[in-house]
């Protein structure tokens, strides 16, 4: 892959073309799916994925033909080569004996169709992709089709790519290329968060895994082995999967993903997410020293996981759940709230000034009078000031033992300016999730099972990286949107 390059030179824009599109390309380049279809060197990047697909297709067809032969002629019937007619699109495939099997439909037109269909703002499933290819002539031509495959061919393509992890391999390949080409910036910080993906499944429903046509004692299995009940509020709940995403803090493009049952707690997904990221991109993982995550991740177990897996520090805000405010018997101090912040008798939260590591204490200052923490919008009545601060010029300074507020991380206190400045980068993962759901159809998966949910996430991330590559080639800078942005 080292000979790949990204350039803005319009003279080489159409060099990667693997097919001819009889249309005015310049006039159509503003259509979102046209640019990536024509500018990505598909065969150079995904040539080995194509070879693996054809081999798996051959194995699948041989298996289908063997089952059909046993059903028709019995297990000892003569060995024949079979072909699948194109018109067999619905129901049971019609298999006929032949000395020379029919050539399979080309890989790349279907591959492009599934990856570029989200740019048409449609739900990502076989039905929608097939309808777009069959009804949208420009999409048909730009994807590189010479004739329309049957719907059954689309279903088989999606099944092979899903069951054999080929979309996962393609996603890793495209991400690595964007890293190697410098499209994604070098990172020392990553962000982690989860999002829910709705599933087409019934919670608790089971079926038999066998294909016996007669009554049998085979055990029943869940129709979807990875769904859980997701409660968004007291009145909103649905069945779905949970996807844990990891992105660079600067690049704000998803790099890795883990799919778990929808009801698995967020805090228990961090270890697997970091492990997968380290396996997929070991060179990038070695440069990471900070992991930014939501407050639900803040616990000792996750701090330990970050150190052991990436040798990095977890930056997560205080998880105030199940914490109660503490009454304090100290001059001028009313209580310490759930986040470990002291409040003075005037009702003002005090400002974090630093910590005394030798004495293991946090130091808090007056928000009205201290020069490092002064807030001009606050005032303190003279009686209160005298009672609390003793009329000290810089106001009250209060020390709290670290053991008294264990919710604060002593290695990187969440109330410090250093933590706040670093943690501001975490909002990038929210934009990543928004882009994937709104622009690349991550919101809902239409097939059942963990493999299908993983393949769906891989396809969405892969489509996003294809757009990142294309936009960089045209603009010369990182642009993460799903629509084409004009230079300048």
pLDDT digits (tens, 9 = 90+) for 437-479: 888 888 888 888 899 999 999 999 999 999 999 888 877 777 6
The mean pLDDT of 74-96, rounded to a whole number, is 44
Residue among 139, 118, 183 nearest 34 (CA): 139
Is position 479 within any domain? Answer: no
CB atoms within 10 A of CB 362: 24
Q: What CATH number has the domain bearing residue 229?
A: 3.30.420.10
Residues 6+ apart with CB under 8 A from 82: 61, 65, 68, 69, 95, 96, 97, 98, 101
Query: Which of 32-41, 267-276, 331-340, 362-371 has the least mean pLDDT?
Result: 362-371
Is position 40 within any domain? Answer: yes
Mean pLDDT in the chain? 81
- 17 plus 127 within the same structural domain: yes
Task: Assess contact for 162 and 455: CB atoms under 8 A.
Answer: yes
pLDDT digits (tens, 9 = 90+) for 359-380: 999 999 888 777 676 666 666 6
Task: Assess contact for 295 and 360: CB atoms under 8 A.
Answer: no
Whether pLDDT at 166 is above 80:
yes
Is position 483 within any domain? Answer: no
- 371 plus 450 within the same structural domain: no
pLDDT digits (tens, 9 = 90+) for 19-37: 444 455 556 777 788 888 8
pLDDT-derived band of residue 484, with 50, 70 and 90 as boundaries? Answer: low
Selected residue with higher pLDDT from 245 and 373? 245
- 331 plus 307 within the same structural domain: no
Selected residue with higher pLDDT from 328 and 73? 328
- 346 plus 393 within the same structural domain: yes
| Residue 480: per-residue pLDDT | 67
Whether pLDDT at 233 is above 70:
yes
What pTM was computed for the model?
A: 0.83
| Residue 280: per-residue pLDDT | 94
Selected residue with higher pLDDT from 282 and 98? 282
Is position 279 within any domain? Answer: yes
CB atoms within 10 A of CB 155: 14
What gap in Å lies between CA 485 and CA 488, rounded to an integer?
9
The mean pLDDT of 115-129, rounded to a whole number, is 89
Is position 474 within any domain? Answer: no
In the chain, the number of structural domains is 3
Is position 65 within any domain? Answer: yes
- 259 plus 301 within the same structural domain: yes
Is position 306 within any domain? Answer: yes
Backbone φ and ψ of 476, nearest 5°: 80, 15
- 22 plus 107 within the same structural domain: yes
Counting residues of the chain whose pLDDT is more than 90, the rounded percentage is 40
| Residue 303: per-residue pLDDT | 94
| Residue 288: per-residue pLDDT | 94
- 240 plus 341 within the same structural domain: no
Residue among 16, 149, 32 nearest 88 (CA): 149
What gap in Å lies between CA 168 and CA 377, rounded to an integer?
54
| Residue 2: per-residue pLDDT | 44
- 432 plus 300 within the same structural domain: yes
- 312 plus 333 within the same structural domain: no
Is position 38 within any domain? Answer: yes
Bridge partners, 52 (sequence order): none
Domain residues for 431?
Answer: 185-203+222-318+425-469
Query: Which of 49-63, 184-198, 210-224, 287-301 has the least mean pLDDT?
Result: 210-224
| Residue 421: per-residue pLDDT | 93
- For 76-122, the DSSP string reads TSPP-EEE--TT--SSS---EEESSPPPPPPHHHHHHHHHHGGGGT-
Whether pLDDT at 124 is above 50:
yes
| Residue 475: per-residue pLDDT | 78
Q: What share of the chain is helix, strand, coil (3-state, %, to 5)?
A: 40, 15, 40
Whether pLDDT at 97 is above 50:
no
Whether pLDDT at 82 is above 80:
no
- 18 plus 153 within the same structural domain: yes
Q: Reduced to 3 states, what is the DSSP secondary structure of residue 73?
A: helix
Highest mean pLDDT out of 73-87, 160-174, 344-358? 160-174
- 402 plus 459 within the same structural domain: no
- 196 plus 277 within the same structural domain: yes
| Residue 392: per-residue pLDDT | 67
């Amino acid at each position: 892959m080292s000979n790949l390059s990204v350039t803005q030179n319009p003279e080489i824009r159409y060099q990667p073309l693997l097919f001819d599109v009889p249309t005015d390309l310049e006039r159509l380049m503003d259509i979102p799916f046209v640019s990536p279809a024509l500018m990505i060197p598909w065969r150079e990047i995904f040539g080995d994925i194509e070879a693996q697909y054809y081999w798996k297709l051959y194995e699948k067809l041989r298996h289908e033909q063997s089952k059909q032969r046993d059903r028709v002629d019995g297990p000892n019937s003569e060995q024949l080569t079979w072909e699948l007619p194109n018109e067999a699109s619905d129901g049971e495939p019609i298999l006929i004996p032949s000395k020379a099997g029919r050539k399979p439909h080309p890989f790349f037109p279907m591959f492009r169709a599934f990856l570029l269909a989200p740019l048409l703002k449609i739900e990502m499933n076989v039905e929608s992709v097939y309808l777009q290819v069959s009804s949208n002539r420009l999409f048909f031509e730009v994807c590189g089709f010479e004739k329309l495959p049957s719907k059954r061919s689309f279903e088989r393509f999606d099944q092979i790519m899903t069951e054999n992890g080929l979309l996962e391999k393609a996603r890793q390949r495209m991400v690595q290329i964007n890293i190697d080409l410098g499209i994604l910036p070098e990172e020392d910080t990553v962000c982690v968060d989860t999002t829910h993906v709705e599933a087409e499944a019934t919670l608790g429903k089971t079926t038999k895994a066998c294909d016996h046509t007669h009554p049998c004692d085979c055990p029943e299995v869940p129709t979807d082995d990875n769904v859980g009940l997701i409660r968004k509020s007291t009145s909103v709940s649905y069945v779905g999967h949970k996807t844990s995403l990891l992105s660079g803090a600067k690049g704000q493009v998803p790099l890795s993903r883990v799919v778990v049952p929808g009801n698995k707690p967020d805090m228990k997904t961090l270890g697997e997410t970091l492990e997968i990221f380290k396996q997929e991109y070991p060179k990038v993982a070695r440069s990471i020293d900070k992991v930014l995550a939501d407050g639900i991740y803040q616990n000792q177990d996750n701090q330990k996981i970050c150190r052991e897996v990436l040798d990095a520090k977890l930056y997560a805000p205080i998880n105030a759940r199940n914490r109660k405010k503490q009454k304090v018997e100290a001059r001028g101090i009313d209580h310490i709230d759930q986040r470990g912040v002291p409040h003075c008798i005037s009702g003002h939260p005090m400002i974090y000034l630093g910590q005394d590591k030798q004495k293991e204490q946090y130091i808090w200052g007056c928000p009205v009078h201290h020069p490092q923490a002064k807030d001009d919008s606050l005032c303190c009545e003279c009686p209160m000031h005298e009672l609390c601060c003793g009329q000290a010029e810089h106001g009250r300074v209060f020390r709290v033992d670290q053991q008294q507020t264990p919710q604060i991380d002593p290695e990187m206190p969440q109330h410090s300016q250093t933590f706040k400045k670093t943690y501001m980068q975490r909002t990038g993962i929210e934009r990543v999730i928004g882009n994937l759901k709104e622009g690349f159809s991550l919101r809902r998966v239409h097939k059942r099972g963990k493999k299908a949910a993983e393949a769906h996430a891989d396809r969405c991330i892969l489509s996003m990286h294809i757009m990142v590559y294309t936009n960089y080639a045209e603009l010369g800078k990182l642009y993460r949107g799903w629509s084409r942005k004009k230079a300048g």
